Each structure stands twice: as C-alpha cells, then as structure tokens.
Amino acid sequence: MENPNLNPNPEANQLPEADSLPDGFVESSGAEPLKEAVTDYKEEKLLEPNSRPGVVIEDGGSSSSKLPETVGDRVESVAVANDGAAPGVVHVKEKSVEGEGSQTVASEETSVAGSSESNKKEASEVKRKNVKRTFKSEKEFLEFTLKYQQVISERDSAIAVRDKLESLCRELQRQNKLLMDECKRVSTEGQNLRLDLSNKFQDAIKEVSSKLEEQKDECISQLKENEMLKTKLKQLVDQYTLSEQQHAQQLKQKSLELQLADLKLQQHEEKLKQEQSQMKLYAEQVAQLLATEKNLRLQLTADGEKFQQFQEALLKSNEVFETFKQEIEKMAKSIKELKKENTFLKSKCEKSDVTLIELADERERLKKQLERTRNQKEKLESLCRSLQAERKTNSNSSPNSAGANTSDSVPV
C-alpha cells in the first residue's frame, strides 16, 4: 500500500524561475552606453568654463581696471592742457589790457581752475565706479563656477550610487539562482527517497504474503513479527512525515526570504527613479545657466564695441584739441611780435600822432582776433563736455543692462 502523504504538491515544491523575475533583476547590456554618454556630457561641461574669453579671475580685477585708466588718463590730459593754456591767455590779456582788464582776468582764472578740478573729480569718480562694477561681475562669475562644479559633483555621486545599486541587483539575482537550484535539488532528492521507500515497502509486503501462503504453520509467529514490522513501519512513516514537515518549513522560510529580497529590490528601484528625476532637474538648471552665460557674453561683446567707438571719438576730439592748441601757440607768437611792435611804436609816439592812430587801429584788430579765439575755445570746451556726458551715459547704461541680465538668471 502506498502512503498518500508521499505524493507532494508539485506547485508548492516548484520555485519561480529566473525568466519570471521583473526587468530590474536581469542584467541589461544597455548600461555601458549610458555611462559613455554621461562621461561625454561631463567632459563637454568641464571644458566650457576654461574657454571663457576676456575675463581673468586670478588677477583680482587687473584686466577690468585697465579700461577706465586709459579713459581717465585722457580726461586728465585734457584738464592739464586746459590748465596749461589758461595762464597764457590771461598773461596776454594782462599785457594787452591795462586798468579795467585786471578784474576780468581774475574771474577767468577762477572759472578755468574750477572747470579743471571738476573734470578731475569726474574722472576719478568714473574710475572708481568702473572698478566696483568689474569686481561685482567677477564675484558673480566665481559664484556661478562654484555652483556649476557642485552640480557636476552631485551628478557624479548619483551615477556612482546607481552603478552600486545595479551591481547589488546582479549579486541578488545570482544568489536567487543558487537558492532555486538548491531547492530543486532538495525536492528531487526527497522524491527519490519517497519512491525508494515505497518500492521497498511493496517488496516487503509481497515477500510476507508469499511466506504466509507457503508456511501456514508459522502464521502465529509471523503475525507477531508482522505486528512488530507494522509498528516499525508506522515509526518510519511518522519519521518521514516529520522530515516532510521540516522540509516544508524550510521551503516557507526560503520563500519568505525571497519575498523580502523582492521588496528590497523594489525599494532600490524607487530610489533609482527618484535620483533619475533629480538628475533631469539638474540638467535643466545647467541648460538655463548656459543660456544666461551666452546672453552675458553677447552683451559683453556689444559693450566692447561701444567702448571702441567711444575711444575713437575721444581720439578725434584730442586731435581737434591739439590743432586748436597749435593755433593758440601761433597766436601767442604773433602777439609777442605785436608787443615788440607796440614798444617800438611807443618810442616813436612822441614824434607823431599819426603813428598813435595806427597803433590804436592795430590794437582794435588784435582785440577782435582775441575774441574770435576765445569763441573758438569756448566751442571746443562745450564739445569736450558733451563728449564727457556721452561717455557717462554709455558707462551708466552698460552696468544697468548687465544687472538686468543677472537678475533674470535662475539661482541654483
């Protein structure tokens, strides 16, 4: 007789195969191209900050301070030229005009001195403002590079964590396969043992029945022996059932362990998804920062072109001023010659009144020439002032536009 407990449940003994596991447990060949793409992206991002033209961070603002120094030097040269030209004109007026002209000379001296001082103050203020602006722009650029490096380091750490999780998943898959192989081996061994025991039991029963038929005299003794065998068989069956229960408990424990491993893997997959979403956000922020950087570069080029145009205008104004200065020197030479002639005429004044009348006419003519030169000088000064005003407006407009663009940028 066969024991019904010997037929195991095939569905309970069988374990899930490797093909039935979720996609995250199977090794994928698409991990290596992703790494290569990530490394290429990192290298492109690291090369861009080094290719920045026109700004030097280590010098501490030395490159930015050179631009306003050239403009300030030119303004100071104009002021010095005005200071050098004013005493010559005043001296001519003192020599040519006596008595009533002394008061006008003093007023002109004070006005020229005040204008030169105001020009120097304006030049110093322009220098100071330009230096402050360049320092601010360099500080903003340093902060931007630091934030960019932090984003790259966070991205690299996330990639390293992802690689570690993938390696852990592969190890868990390998361990699961080993456990499944062991479970299959144990189940096959148990089935073989059951079959062997059942075959032996059937053979023993056949032998006993044949002996009973052959030996009827020894039935009583054989019955006793059969009872003993039955008890032994019962003990064996009990032991076999206990072993089956133990195997079932072990299988349950292993199934629970597999379920726990599945839950852990699901948690790791969720973490990977969250990290991938964070990586996408970081990539969008980096793209926005690159767009703002391009806009700032375009604005810097436009400001450089405006500054070159302004320098050309200053050069033209300096050339006009030099020509005017040469004309003034020529007039001063002519005035000296006229003074010599006046002294010569004064010596002859006592001889004839006609010569005095001629000298008076020449004096009036010289006054007219002086008035003309003064008018020309005032016109040139007005032109210089207008150029300085335009320079101030240009310098004020360039930092305002830079400040607006920096306020539009998104903080990291």
* Cα separation, 403 vs 316, whole angstroms: 31
pLDDT band at 74 (very low <50, low <70, confident <90, very high): very low
Check pLDDT > 70 for residue 396.
Answer: yes
Q: Which residue has the higher pLDDT, 22 or 182?
A: 182
Task: Give the domain ranges of the chain.
Answer: 62-89+105-408
Taking each helix axis from N to C terminus, what angle separates 353-408 and 62-96, rounded to the nearest 10 degrees?
Answer: 160
* Cα separation, 392 vs 75, whole angstroms: 12
Q: Give me the pLDDT at residue 219, please.
A: 67
pLDDT band at 401 (very low <50, low <70, confident <90, very high): low
Residue whose structure tokens are 């004020």 = 396
Q: What is the pLDDT of residues 295-325, one digit of tens each?
A: 888 888 888 888 888 888 888 888 888 888 8
Identify the weakest region by mean pLDDT among 56-60, 171-175, 296-300: 56-60
Q: Which residues contact 201 (CB under 8 A, 6 or more apart)?
A: 1, 233
Q: For the whole model, what pTM was predicted?
A: 0.22
Q: Encode burial over 132-154: b for 16+ CB neighbours within 10 A, e otherwise.
A: ebbebbbeebeebeeebeebbee
Q: Which residue has the higher pLDDT, 281 or 216?
A: 281
pLDDT band at 55 (very low <50, low <70, confident <90, very high): very low
Structure tokens at 201: 């039991």
* Cα separation, 104 vs 90, whole angstroms: 9
Q: Give me the pLDDT at residue 108, please.
A: 62
Q: Give me the pLDDT at residue 112, please.
A: 62
pLDDT band at 178 (very low <50, low <70, confident <90, very high): very high
Sign, CA dihedral 314-315-316-322, equals positive
Sign, CA dihedral 122-127-128-134, equals positive
Maximum Cα–Cα distance for the chain, whole Å?
Answer: 198
Among left, alpha and beta (phi > 0; psi -120 to 50; other), residue 215 is beta
Q: Which residue has the higher pLDDT, 47 or 212?
A: 212
Identify the weakest region by mean pLDDT among 37-51, 222-236, 262-276: 37-51
pLDDT band at 159 (very low <50, low <70, confident <90, very high): very high
End-to-end, the C-alpha distance of the chain in Å comes to 80
Q: What's the mean pLDDT in 71-86?
A: 41
Q: Which residue has the higher pLDDT, 142 or 403?
A: 142
Q: Which residues contact 78 (CB under 8 A, 6 or more apart)?
A: 119, 318, 321, 384
| Amino acid present at 150 | Q
Check pLDDT > 70 for residue 384.
Answer: yes
Contact assessment for residue 379 and residue 258, using Cβ atoms and an 8 Å cutoff: no
Check pLDDT > 50 for residue 30.
Answer: no
- 377-380 LR contacts (CB < 8 Å, sep 24+): 377/85, 377/89, 377/324, 377/328, 380/320, 380/321, 380/324
pLDDT band at 18 (very low <50, low <70, confident <90, very high): very low
What proportions of the chain, in percent to the nearest 5, are helix, strand and coil? Answer: 90, 0, 10
Q: Which residues contact 144 (CB under 8 A, 6 or more apart)?
A: 289, 293
Contact assessment for residue 251 and residue 183, using Cβ atoms and an 8 Å cutoff: yes
Q: What's the mean pLDDT in 252-265?
A: 86
Check pLDDT > 60 for residue 95.
Answer: no
Check pLDDT > 90 for residue 241.
Answer: no
Contact assessment for residue 314 and residue 387, using Cβ atoms and an 8 Å cutoff: yes
Identify the weakest region by mean pLDDT among 80-94, 145-159, 326-340, 342-356: 80-94
| Amino acid present at 48 | E
Check pLDDT > 60 for residue 243.
Answer: yes
Contact assessment for residue 119 and residue 78, using Cβ atoms and an 8 Å cutoff: yes
E strands within 227-371? none
Radius of gyration of the chain (CA): 53
Q: What is the pLDDT of residues 184-240, one digit of tens each?
A: 888 888 889 888 888 888 888 888 777 777 776 676 777 788 788 888 888 888 888
* Cα separation, 32 vs 274, whole angstroms: 21
Q: Give me the pLDDT at residue 46, please.
A: 41
